Amino acid sequence: MKYDWMDGFLMARPGVTKDLQEEWNWIRYQIGGKMFAAICRDDDNKPYYITLKLDPIEGEFWRGQYEDVIPGYYMNKVHWNSVKADGAVPDDVLKDMLLKAYGLVLNSLPKKKRKEIMEEAAENDLISCCGSDCAACYCYGKMCKGCNACCGKVFHAPEGKACPVYDCCRTKNGFYSCADCDKLPCDLILGTRDPKMTDEEFAKSVKERVERLKGRKAD
């Protein structure tokens, strides 16, 4: 299989587990006990399809773009799609499809379960969902214990409420970080600014955060 990065890429997503469905010889990737992607293998354990779940409209779009994307192999043909494991679909396109599959199933989970998954993954992560490095912040360890550790209820947010960027990313969309959003950097990020920063410093900060998030997404 040419997409040898796939296992590490998926297992780095919050809450992802995998198992081997022996009857079909599929390696299944799941979130909250629900499969969102699988590597389909033949009798010699050689991958021949990567199967993933997508919104029907998006699945139809990709099938129209690449002949190596077909309706789900041994799956529901409306909601599932299969990609040839040695086909011509570019890595970045498959990564985007896999992230969409992950997000689709994650967002189908009960809100409480989604919150548990995100909080567990974020507990020791000092990179906030907007890409800020909490360890480098002058407030960290003094008036703030880190964006992830306090679930976005940082010192500059309204009392008892989360930062609007955190709320949009984690609560409303179920993303782990803004890297999973195609609007990065959005108006919320551009509108959330440390008043101590000059225009130049803020522009540099946004650029660094976007680069940091995109670098993590590619890992």
Same structural domain, 69 and 133: no
The total number of structural domains in the chain stands at: 2
Q: Is the pLDDT of residue 217 over 60?
A: no
**Is residue 94 domain-resident?**
yes
**145 pLDDT more than 50:** yes
pLDDT tens digits along 158-191: 778 888 898 888 878 778 788 888 888 999 888 8
Domain that holds residue 211: 125-217
> Does residue 51 register a pLDDT over 70?
yes
Whether residue 212 has pLDDT greater than 90: no
User: Does residue 41 belong to any structural domain of this protein?
Assistant: yes
168, 213: one domain: yes
pLDDT value for 11: 87
Quick check: 195 pLDDT over 60?
yes
Of the pLDDT bands very low, low, confident and very high (cuts 50, 70, 90), residue 66 is very high
Kindly state whether residues 102 and 134 are assigned to the same domain: no
State whether 10 and 101 are in the same domain.
yes
Write down the pLDDT at residue 159.
Answer: 79
pTM (2 decimals)?
A: 0.64
Over residues 35-41, mean pLDDT: 96
Spatial distance between the Cα atoms of 95 and 131, rounded to a whole number of angstroms: 20
In this prediction, residue 219 has a pLDDT band, given cuts at 50, 70 and 90, of very low
Domain assignment present for residue 158? The answer is yes
User: Does 39 fall in a domain?
Assistant: yes
Q: Is the peptide bond before 195 cis (omega within 30 degrees of 0)?
A: no
Q: Domain holding 90: CATH number?
A: 3.90.1150.30
Question: Which of 75, 106, 137 is the last residue in one of the domains?
Answer: 106
On whether both 79 and 129 belong to a single domain, the answer is: no
Angle between the N-to-C axes of helices 91-106 and 56-65, in degrees from 0 to 180, rounded to the nearest 10: 170
Query: Is the same domain home to 97 and 146?
Result: no
CB 50 within 8 A of CB 83: yes
